[in-house]
Amino acid sequence: AVPGGLEEEGATIRRRQRKNTCLAILATLDTLEVHRLLLRQFHEATAATDRLTAFSLILESSAPERPKILETFMAESAKSPVAWESFLATVAASDCDDLIPILERIESSPAFSIEQAGEQRALYGRFALNRKRSLETEEGRAYLAGVLRRLAPINEYSTARALDAFAF
């Protein structure tokens, strides 16, 4: 094998996947020590996947830094269309108890544009498919109904894709 070849890159990706899986398991403990691990990975990650994984786990934690991380990462992500869509999708897929207020905060941000198809898919489509929050909670169903009403006149395709949440 050539040094730095595909085999080596594949092994690196698999190690990161295992590390992130272990971090997700540890995050269920929601302790200060685990918060420190999550924050360290968030701040020191060299791969976007590692940073998004840490962000997602911080969002679902009780870490005191959580609100500041959310605001800072939102502002930082808004500077790049790719990072912004990844941020939106990560938040929308979250299993945090205050997800709806967070989504409403994002929608009110000047960085969010409901007219952008990529942002629709990332925020609304991903939330709709987050059935545990979108369909299995009264608050989620009410939010999703509002999203569908706002989205339908703007983009029928994105609206139909969000309706896929009801397919199963």
DSSP 84-136: HHHHHHHHHT---TTHHHHHHHHHTSTT--TT-HHHIIIIIIHHHH-HHHHTS
Burial of 167: CB neighbours in 10 Å, binned 0-12, 13-18, 19+: exposed
Under the banding of pLDDT at 50, 70 and 90, the label for residue 3 is low
For 62-101, the pLDDT digits (tens) are 999 999 999 999 999 999 999 999 999 999 999 999 999 9
pLDDT at 167: 86
pTM equals 0.92
